[in-house]
Structures are given as C-alpha cells and as structure tokens.
C-alpha cells in the first residue's frame, strides 16, 4: 500500500512501501544484514533516513519485512507438494532448492540459510529469528518425510537434508552454476539410494526401509 511520508531533504513525496521492501530484500539477500547500511538502503529506495525510520521503525524492522517477503518466493519446500514417494520428496526438495538458489531473476544463494550465522552481539535477536526460520523449515521437511518413514528417522533425514540445502546455498553464492548444483543433488540421491536396507526392509532405496508407508496418500502438510 502506498503512503505519504516526508523526505527531510526534498519535502513530501510518494513512498511505495512494497517497492521499498523489495529493494531492501535484494540488498540484504546479496550482501547480508551487516553488509547493508542505512545509507545504502535510503539511497537505493530513494528516501531520507527519517522516512525509513518512520515507515519501518529501524533497519532491523525493514530486514524482518524483507525476510517475510523472501519467504513468499518459490523455495525448496515447494518440491515436496506433489511427491508420491520418499525418493520423489527428497529429489523434489533438492531440485527445487537448486532452482531457488540459482534463479537468474534472484540473487545467488539463500537469504535465510546463510543470513546472520555469524554477527555482532547487538544483532543476536535477528540471528535468533533466522535460526527459528531455519528450524521451522527443517521441521516442515520432517513432517513431510514422516508420510513414508517413522518420525525419528524423518527427523534425522530432515537434519541431513537441511545441511545439504545450506551447502547448496553456499555453493551457489560462491559461483557454482545450476549444472554443478544438480550434480551435487545427483550424488546425494545416489548416496541415499545406496544405503543398506534396515531390518525388515523390502530392498534398497529410500522407499524400502523399515517403516516405509508409500501406500499412504500424499498431500500438503
């Protein structure tokens, strides 16, 4: 929604909040929270600092709105929606992640996976916010995988996959192209498929392990 704010240097002007959040999201995504100054934000958005503080309260407030906007973009969890087997779920998750972190219309990497893993003490509250978002994603993965395997194993696999997702994001940030990232995914899938079956399993591969419930209908979490 557009609103009027006063630019201390230029007098009244129209302020597009949605556009401001989009611009800020791009900057934070590209440079990280501590790599973007208030001056960077106000220059890119085209407003004076008083207008930014009036609209968002603080740089941290704008960062949180940017995170919420980022969460609306296509991401790894989208790859779970149509999965009919555990293997499809894992593959779909990882391939959707590759698309997200290498999307030419976005920035390289993941704003949540790599955001504020290390930061100054005064930003601990923001770091905890990002940690909570990463844990929520891991929990969502575990709930989805529990359609086919027992919850404890689903939790273990979700931890593993969350680690892979963060690695893919870092590799993308470091310049790996989509083909290279897809090669990593292929290796991960081969490794999961090569795991020896557990007691009572029907055979190799994710859907053959103990507790598999592939006949159970799939759906959204």
Considering its fold, how many domains does the chain have in total? 2
Closest CA to 144 of 134, 135, 157: 157
Q: What is the per-residue pLDDT for 195?
A: 54
Check residue 120 and report its DSSP letter. Answer: -
Quote the CA–CA distance of 20 and 198 in Å, as a whole number.
53
Q: What is the per-residue pLDDT for 14?
A: 63
Domain that holds residue 78: 74-194
Are 49 and 89 part of one and the same domain? no
Are 80 and 187 part of one and the same domain? yes
CATH code: domain of residue 59: 1.10.10.60
Are 22 and 112 part of one and the same domain? no
**Would you say 50 and 6 are in contact if contact means Cβ atoms under 8 Å apart?**
yes
Quote the CA–CA distance of 163 and 218 in Å, as a whole number.
25
Are 112 and 188 part of one and the same domain? yes
Quote the CA–CA distance of 210 and 48 in Å, as a whole number.
61
pLDDT in tens, 187-216: 999 988 755 544 444 433 444 444 444 333
Are 67 and 84 part of one and the same domain? no
Are 115 and 62 part of one and the same domain? no
Would you give per-residue pLDDT tens digits along the chain (221 residues)? 344 333 333 433 567 999 999 999 999 999 989 999 999 999 999 999 999 999 999 999 999 999 999 999 999 999 999 999 999 999 999 999 999 999 988 899 999 987 777 677 878 899 899 999 999 999 999 999 999 999 999 999 999 999 999 999 999 999 999 999 999 999 999 988 755 544 444 433 444 444 444 333 333 33
End residue of a domain, out of 53, 71, 89: 71
Q: What are phi and psi of 102, to 5 degrees?
A: -120, 15
Closest CA to 188 of 171, 210, 212, 213: 171
In a domain, 37, yes or no: yes
């Amino acid at each position: 929604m557009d609103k009027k704010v006063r630019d201390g240097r230029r007098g009244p002007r129209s302020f597009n909040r949605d556009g401001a959040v989009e611009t800020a999201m791009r900057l934070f995504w590209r440079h990280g929270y501590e790599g973007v100054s208030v001056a960077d934000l106000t220059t890119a958005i085209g407003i004076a600092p008083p207008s930014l503080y009036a609209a968002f309260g603080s740089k941290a407030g704008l960062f949180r709105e940017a995170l919420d906007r980022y969460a609306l973009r296509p991401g790894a969890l989208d790859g779970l929606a149509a999965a009919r087997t555990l293997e499809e779920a894992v593959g779909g998750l990882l391939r959707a992640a590759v698309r997200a972190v290498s999307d030419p219309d976005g920035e390289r990497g993941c704003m949540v996976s790599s955001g504020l893993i290390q930061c100054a003490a005064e930003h601990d509250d923001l770091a905890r916010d990002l940690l909570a978002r990463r844990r929520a994603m891991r929990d969502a993965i575990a709930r989805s995988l529990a359609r086919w395997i027992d919850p404890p194993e689903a939790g273990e696999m979700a931890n593993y996959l969350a680690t892979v997702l963060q690695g893919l994001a870092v590799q993308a940030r470091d310049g790996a192209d989509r083909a290279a990232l897809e090669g990593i995914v292929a290796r991960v899938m081969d490794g999961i498929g090569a795991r020896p079956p557990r007691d009572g399993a029907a055979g190799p591969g994710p859907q053959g392990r103990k507790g598999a419930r592939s006949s159970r209908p799939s759906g959204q979490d």
